[in-house]
Chain A
Amino acid sequence: MSLRILRWWLACWRQAIARDLQFRTQTVLIAVGALVDVAISLVPALVLAQTARTAANGWDESTAVLVVGLFTLSTALLDTVIGPNLLRLDSAVRTGELDLLLIRPIPALLALMLRWVRPAEATRVLVGGALVVAALGAADEVPGPLDVIGCLAMMAIGVVAWTLFWVNASFLSFWWASAAPVQDIVGALREAGQYPRAAFRRMPLRGFTTLVPALLLATLPAQLLLGGAPAGPLLGGAAVVLAGGILTAVHWRLALRRYDSASS
């Protein structure tokens, strides 16, 4: 079963790359737009860091750039793989196009989240990586192997946690006739993840690490990369993923029961 899913997903990637190569100008524009977007997202983080560099926790420009770099890596993955699918969900539910996924011989929820891929968005991985290296160089920090592993594990947890949150928000399309603007709300909430932990008071910090897990994408991974204790964030993140997974499974069953499909 898992091999069949893997073959199916590789076929999705092949098709996406072929499509991108066919519409080259559009692909270049998407890639350029993604890069400009990264540059723009650096501005508020740097402005905030400039005014807060005298604050506690040793927060400075290099920390701000590190968080934006990690945020760029996490969101590049999300926008390459998950985003293209969830952005289509509203229209798929409304027009009954979802039927075509439900009848395929692979788990429908997986197909719903992974069917479409947008390789051009992955160009941000290069920029994100460069920002992380530059930030660590500017801060004169060389993270140890355990710090790097902790950071990567936290980012993986963050990406899964955010995917589950995003999926549940997108499932509102099953309950409302036109829930497309939910994507704007999700996108705006995700922006909170590009700031260092020192920018949040206790209540917003709790909210953005549990109910709306934006800070798991880059803020907490940055903390681990800079030598923070890994046990608490990793265990907490795993609990958020577990709760999100259960909620998503229940929500998916309820949503399917409500779905009318094109032919019914």
Chain B
Amino acid sequence: MSTLLPTAAALVGRDLTVTLTNRAWVVLLQLGAVTPPIVSLLVWTGAVARGATPPVPVDQLVTWFVLVAMVSMVTSSWTASFLAEDIRTGGLSIWLVRPCPALLPLLANNVAEKAVKLVVLLPLVAVLALAVHDQVHLPTAPGVWAAALGALACAALLAFVLDVLIGSLAFWFEDVEGVQGIVGLTQRLLSGAVVPLMLLPSEVQEAVRFQPFRFTLAFPLEVLTGAATTEAADWLVMLAWTGVALGLLALVWSRGVRRYEAAGA
């Protein structure tokens, strides 16, 4: 346990260095992250100018599109395919024999890459916010920011654990790409990445309110933009999903490692 923090710090440092060597890649990646919300912003503001009447205030919608790239990056996870490959090729073995949790390098990679991406993404989002500053309304109350940070941390953890769970399927299946693709598409729709959930008809909103993907993107944004659907029940369900996902991961991982047959095992 005493070596855990130094090991984690060393792994984060290593991944920071690797990420910083691919600076152009990171910049292009973040440009790719802000492009979809910019297109949505152009479409929605154009439609509103032509008389469209969205079910939420326009300012709230604009604030959503300005912040969505940032929240999406903070809560994103790209671990599943790397973990699946490590399980398939035996690369996981070197982490199973080391005196630290085998998932620690994946977590360190997630944290380090996000730190670099954040530095690049912040100015891009700031420029976007400046361009539509009349319609961007960020919360002023410290309590709202604290709540948003809490929701963001929980969302990032939930997204990471769900991603690791998908990657862990490689203990049982040779190829998890298909599952990953289907879950990815479902997540895009149900998390609010394709269209803000607050724009859906009210009965659809109610139907998708408590599903886990909403808490990986839409919920922290709803807290930040002051949407109405952030009641105590939402917080409880988010915590419950995170707890269930962590419990499931512990179970799947212990069973999976027992089943693991790497080269040389």
Residues of A within 8 A of B (CB): 25-26, 29, 32-33, 36-37, 40, 43-44, 47-48, 50-52, 54-57, 59, 176-182, 184-185, 188-189, 191-192, 195, 198-201, 204
- 21 of the cross-chain contacts (CB-CB < 8 Å) are A32-B182, A43-B194, A47-B195, A48-B43, A48-B47, A50-B201, A51-B53, A51-B55, A52-B53, A55-B50, A56-B51, A177-B24, A180-B28, A181-B29, A184-B28, A184-B32, A188-B36, A191-B36, A198-B50, A199-B47, A199-B50
Question: Nearest-CB distance from B243 to chain A (Å)?
Answer: 29
When the two chains form the complex, which single residue of B28, B49, B199, B200 contacts A181, counting CB atoms closer than 8 Å? B28
Question: Nearest-CB distance from A78 to chain B (Å)?
Answer: 17
Is the Cβ of A200 less than 8 Å from the Cβ of B46?
A: yes
Which residues of chain B are within 8 angstroms of A177 by Cβ–Cβ distance? 24-25
Question: Nearest-CB distance from A191 to chain B (Å)?
Answer: 6
Question: Nearest-CB distance from A177 to chain B (Å)?
Answer: 7
C-alpha spacing A176/B29, complex, angstroms:
13
C-alpha spacing A46/B113, complex, angstroms:
36
Which residues of chain B are within 8 angstroms of A59 by Cβ–Cβ distance? 50
When the two chains form the complex, which single residue of B36, B43, B185 contacts A200, counting CB atoms closer than 8 Å? B43
Is the Cβ of B47 less than 8 Å from the Cβ of A180?
A: no
Is the Cβ of B47 less than 8 Å from the Cβ of A55?
A: yes
Is the Cβ of A200 less than 8 Å from the Cβ of B28?
A: no
Decide: A54 near B42, CB < 8 A? Known: A47-B195, A48-B47.
no
Residue of chain A at shortest CB distance from B49: A201
Residue of chain A at shortest CB distance from B30: A181
Which residues of chain B are within 8 angstroms of A176 by Cβ–Cβ distance? 24, 28
Is the Cβ of A52 less than 8 Å from the Cβ of B195?
A: no
Is the Cβ of B182 less than 8 Å from the Cβ of A33?
A: yes
B31 at the interface (CB under 8 A from A): yes
In the complex, which of the residues B25, B55, B201 has the most CB atoms of chain A within 10 Å of its own CB atom?
A: B25
Is the Cβ of B45 less than 8 Å from the Cβ of A201?
A: yes
Which residues of chain B are within 8 angstroms of A192 by Cβ–Cβ distance? 39, 42-43
B101 at the interface (CB under 8 A from A): no
Count of chain B residues near A, Cβ 8 A: 37
Residues B1-55 near A (CB distance < 8 A)? 22, 24-25, 28-29, 31-33, 35-36, 39-40, 42-47, 49-55
Which residues of chain A are within 8 angstroms of B137 by Cβ–Cβ distance? none
Pick the 7 closest A-B CB pairs, nearest first.
Answer: A184-B32, A52-B52, A188-B35, A181-B28, A55-B51, A178-B25, A181-B29
Which residues of chain B are within 8 angstroms of A204 by Cβ–Cβ distance? 42, 46
Decide: A181 near B43, CB < 8 A? Known: A29-B181, A48-B52, A199-B50.
no
Which applies to chain A's interface (DSSP): helix, strand, loop or mixed?
helix
Is the Cβ of A200 less than 8 Å from the Cβ of B52?
A: no
Residue of chain A at shortest CB distance from B201: A50
Decide: A56 near B50, CB < 8 A? Known: A51-B199, A181-B31.
yes
Is the Cβ of B181 less than 8 Å from the Cβ of A33?
A: yes
Residue of chain B at shortest CB distance from A208: B42
C-alpha spacing A29/B53, complex, angstroms:
38
In the complex, which of the residues A56, A59, A182, A192 has the most CB atoms of chain B within 10 Å of its own CB atom?
A: A192
Type the 1/0 row for B60-101, where 1 means its CB is closer than 8 Å to any CB of A: 000000000000000000000000000000000000000000
Decide: A200 near B42, CB < 8 A? Known: A43-B189, A178-B22, A179-B28.
yes
B57 at the interface (CB under 8 A from A): no
Is the Cβ of A40 less than 8 Å from the Cβ of B50?
A: no
In the complex, which of the residues A55, A188, A198 has the most CB atoms of chain B within 10 Å of its own CB atom?
A: A188
When the two chains form the complex, which single residue of A33, A54, A185 contacts B28, counting CB atoms closer than 8 Å? A185
B178 at the interface (CB under 8 A from A): yes
Which residues of chain A are within 8 angstroms of B44 by Cβ–Cβ distance? 48, 199
Beyond the given A47-B199, A48-B43, A50-B201, could you list 13 further A-B residue pairs with CB under 8 A, ordered by the A residue number? A26-B178, A29-B177, A37-B185, A43-B189, A51-B199, A55-B52, A176-B24, A184-B29, A188-B39, A192-B39, A192-B43, A201-B42, A204-B46
Is the Cβ of A191 less than 8 Å from the Cβ of B39?
A: yes
Type the 1/0 row for B169-185, where 1 means its CB is closer than 8 Å to any CB of A: 00000000110011001
When the two chains form the complex, which single residue of B35, B42, B47, B195 contacts A184, counting CB atoms closer than 8 Å? B35
Residue of chain A at shortest CB distance from B32: A184
Which residues of chain A are within 8 angstroms of B47 by Cβ–Cβ distance? 48, 51-52, 55, 198-199
